Amino acid sequence: MSNWSAGYVADIGYTYGYYTELNPLRVGLAFLNSGLSMPEVGHACELGFGQGLSANIHASASVVKWHGTDFNPAQAGFAQELSAVSGSAAALHDDAFADFARRADLPDFDYIGLHGIWSWISDENRAVIVDFIRRKLKVGGVLYISYNTLPGWAAFAPMRHLMAEHAEVLGAEGRGIVSRIDGAIEFAEGLLATNPLFSRANPLVGERIKKLKEQNRHYLAHEYFNRDWHPMHFATMAEWLEPAKLQYACSAHYLDHIDAVNLSAEQQAFLKEIPDPMFRESVRDFMVNQQFRRDYWVKGARRVTPFEQAQALRQQKVMLVTPRADVSMKVNGALGEATLNEGVYAPLLDALADHKARTLGQLEQALSGKGVTFAQIVQAAMVLVGAGTLAVAAAEDSQISKARKHTDKLNAHLMLKARSMGDISYLASPVTGGGVMVGRFQQLFLLALAQGRKQPAEWAQYVWQILAAQGQKIVKEGVALDTAEDNMAELSAQATAFAQKQLPLLRALQIAA
């Protein structure tokens, strides 16, 4: 393992993931729903940005000025490539946290984001980050931070430690981290086959190992096999952030705001009897066996009056980012699957079915004769944004127009990459200020359209030529399609479905022309 990596996995790149919670545009609705003053974000920073896909999407899809660092130079180089292509001027570096914190060319920030990094670094680096936040986050500024949480990790943590130790001690030298991961998983399966008392006391560990076998090895390397790996209680996180004068604001995972899908009536009543809000969060983590927290903290929380809250909520814009016919009336919370109220959700979704962004106030007017209250509209928006069915949209058309100059360039670059790789499954929308999932074939259909091919049959032919030239075939239901005719038939079906369902949505998101 490289000395400069400080124990963090550096011999295998991180996945090209996109994390919507890092999008500053999502802060407003969550804060207002919690009765907090909504901050304005002009300068933002992401610490430990991985391949930099989230940072570049957010920098190109908004007017926010982004900075950030990731110590891995290969990943920072890719991130810088995307920044240069888009013209967003995102300043992305390969500094270690301590070096980045000493930079003299950084502004003060309205927003700082860390996704997952906190759980995989040393206490020394945590102290550097907290001091950086203390010095560089403005009064009223927001910290987004996600981290592995106790008690949810308590049962599996000993097995994670044993697997990491196996990879370090018994993993074959020179065979790379992927081989060591496979060996560690095989070892864990062998251990569980002996029926140890540990697995009898923690019966879900075996199921967890089965799921690990199916996951991307690049993800597993960074999630499970770093030297530093520290799940943390919420109260411990609060102690760490206290020197930076941060207060807990609310969850960045919108569904966490909805008690009805996460807590039983008995649990809700029990929590209401706890007067201290911070201790209440700790108790709630036990009720849902919280394993991963995604939280907003703020330097100086300011409450708003009910009148101010209602007025500001009415100005929040949302748009439907799923074809109306495909919207599920089910949602999953800690309690399991819940069914949405058709009387509230159906008319709301119908009002948004054209994929135009509307304010919650406009939706209130549109549903005024349907017996749907404004409070129900707000809760439904929280649920549907949390489920990925709706997205928060930019308030000003001028911001969208300015951002589109950059998203067009970034998306064109990513679509060209889709000709030879399928690792990046997101494109940038100036309407939502963030990323939208668009698979490899769908990106290539868009590329064909941009090159003047107007019909789905032409898109399918274009994609097949790219695949065939590389000796690639489509895998359908786990089986590779052998003949050119079978591949073309599948691509034609996908292209037709894309034209009917996804293309209108991508045009509304201003991803497609």
CA distance 320 to 392: 9
102 forms bridges with which residues in the sheet?
Answer: none
Domains by residue range for the chain, with CATH: 3-151+231-298 (3.40.50.150), 157-224 (no CATH), 317-393 (no CATH), 404-508 (no CATH)
How, if at all, do strands 109-115 and 43-47 pair?
Answer: parallel
Q: What integer pLDDT is reported at residue 166 of this predicted model?
A: 84
Please state, in angstroms and as integers, the Cα–Cα distance from residue 88 to each residue in 91, 110, 513, following that order. 9, 18, 20
Of 395, 394, 430, nearest in space to 411 by CA: 430
Q: Are 4 and 71 in contact (CB under 8 A)?
A: yes
Distance, C-alpha 78 to centroid of its chain: 19
Query: For residue 184, what are the contacts with CB-CB under 8 A and spacing of at least 6?
Result: 163, 164, 166, 167, 171, 225
C-alpha angle 179/180/184, rounded to 5°? Answer: 120
Place of tokens 């494109």: 427
* pLDDT score of 221: 75
Question: CB under 8 Å to 21, separation ≥6 — which residues?
Answer: 115, 144, 146, 252, 253, 294
The contacts of residue 390 (CB under 8 Å, 6+ apart) are 318, 319, 320, 321, 352, 381, 384
pLDDT of residue 167: 80
> Which residue, chain included where needed, has tokens 């589109």?
404
Q: Which residues of 86-104 are buried (b: 16+ CB within 10 A; e: fewer)?
A: bebebbbbbbbbbebbeee
Q: Are strands 65-69 and 91-93 parallel, antiparallel or unpaired?
A: parallel
Q: What one-letter code names the amino acid at 327?
A: V
Going by C-beta distance under 8 Å and a sequence separation of 6 or more, which residues neighbour residue 173?
A: none
- Taking only Cα atoms into account, the Rg of the chain, rounded to an integer number of angstroms, comes to 24
Structure tokens at 292: 């991963």
Taking the C-alpha atoms of residue 118 and residue 127, their distance in angstroms, rounded to an integer, is 11
Taking 3-state DSSP, the helix, strand and coil percentages for the chain, each rounded to the nearest 5, stand at 50, 15, 35
* pLDDT, position 8: 44
Contact 95, 104 (CB under 8 A): no
Residue 167 sits at the vertex; the CA angle it makes with 169 and 225, to the nearest 5 degrees, is 130
What are the two backbone dihedrals, phi and then psi, of residue 485, each rounded to the nearest 5 degrees? -65, -40
pLDDT in the model for residue 171 = 66
pLDDT tens, residue order, the chain (513 aa) = 344 444 444 444 567 889 999 999 999 999 999 999 988 999 999 999 999 999 999 999 999 999 999 999 999 999 999 999 999 999 999 999 999 999 999 999 999 999 989 988 899 999 999 999 999 999 999 999 999 999 988 888 888 888 888 887 776 555 667 788 888 888 888 888 898 888 888 888 888 888 888 888 777 776 777 767 888 999 999 999 999 999 999 999 999 999 999 999 999 999 999 999 999 999 999 999 999 999 999 999 999 999 999 999 999 999 999 999 999 999 999 999 999 999 999 999 999 999 999 999 999 999 998 999 999 999 999 999 999 999 999 988 999 999 999 999 999 999 999 999 999 999 999 999 999 999 999 999 999 999 999 999 999 999 999 999 999 988 888 888 889 999 999 999 999 999 999 999 999 999 998
Contact between 319 and 432 under an 8 Å Cβ cutoff? The reply is yes
What count of other Cβ atoms lies within 10 Å of the Cβ of residue 39?
A: 22
Please provide residue 113's backbone torsions phi and psi, each rounded to the nearest 5 degrees.
Answer: -125, 140
DSSP at 19: -
Please provide the distance, in angstroms rounded to a whole number, between the alpha carbons at the two ends of the chain: 46
- Tallying the residues shown for the chain, one arrives at 513
